[in-house]
Structure 1
Amino acid sequence: MRKKLNRFQLRTVAAVAASLLMAQAAWAVDPFTVRDIRVEGLQRVEPGTIFASLPFRVGETYSDDKGSTAIRALFGLGLFKDVRLEVSGDVLVVIVEERPTVADVDFVGTKEFDKDVLKKALREIGLADGRPFDKALADKAEQELKRQYINRSMYGAEVITTVTPIERNRVNVTFTVTEGDVAKIKDI
């Protein structure tokens, strides 16, 4: 059974379709020649890092495709929480929000492992002083610490990760460990 749309429904569908097309056109930027590139929001990252990642230079043509490529490249560096491109006339403005940097990694309550050995192991996976903080890496490090305690028959060990923001967009990462007792076989 086919149902016909009444006039109101047709007008509504047409209005929605037209507004979607206009919204898409509003976000689209006509290609233009870039006269200048400005970068806003940098705290520790050098501007050269941004410029080296852009797929266009001053004097070249900017398009939406190149803008999308630039955003992907900048996010791919792993240094930024947010990246936006804005156009002001023929000036391109790159606006970034840097991820916090790890100021210090510390361990509380670890008697079974040497802190320097733990720090070295974390450095190898990318969680170290001076590197951008990544919550996923901190979670991975916490799970790895738990696994190491299990390997030493310390099944009751608990690890809690605390991330403390400090000045200048930095964080301290503290792993607090409650080691518990070593499991022993009492009887077979």
Structure 2
Amino acid sequence: MLEQAHPGDPLPLLPRELFRPAWEVFLHALPQPAYFRVPGWILAGIAFNEVGGDPPSIDDAAFVKRMMFDGVDAALATSFGHVSMQVILAAQVLGYHRLKDERDIGNILYTLKNPASNLFIVASYISMLHKYMGGGHWGDGEARWIAAVYNGGLEGWKSAKAQRYARDFMAAKPIVTEILGGK
């Protein structure tokens, strides 16, 4: 029988474990110290939590469908990248005040689809959240909050879904720190 991450959770940790070999290579490529002084385990933990999502072709199809039928704002809420991030959030992190045209949107999509750039944007966002919290010690409580905000946003971080995401993030900490060699 598969062990569940938390009693009552419908899914065990096993599916993420299936991606472990590929992510070990990816996570070892993290610069030390990690981007923006984000501890490697926090950045890698968010990445680990995002593993196994939709393949890029699904992201592309969702974006096109939303652009055609739901409008630009809905399309910009589509997430892309190995470490999923919404297009509009990535644009804000990169300093865009508004996306002026298709070229701006294309640049953001290209950046999110590049694994190294994607990780850079995610680290920048995590660093911004850390500064929002006062920029002090990178403790487990702050890391859990950052994970909840990463999933639910500043408005929805208290939701059950965002809190489950944060719990899964913390449950994966031993796996992630082992992959990173204890860092």
Task: Provide the TM-score with structure 2 as the length reference.
Answer: 0.24
Q: Which is richer in strand?
A: 1
Q: Which is richer in helix?
A: 2
Task: Provide the TM-score with structure 1 as the length reference.
Answer: 0.24
User: Which is higher, the Rg of structure 1 or of structure 2?
Assistant: 1
The structure showing larger relative contact order (alpha-carbon pairs under 8 Å, at least 6 residues apart) is: 2
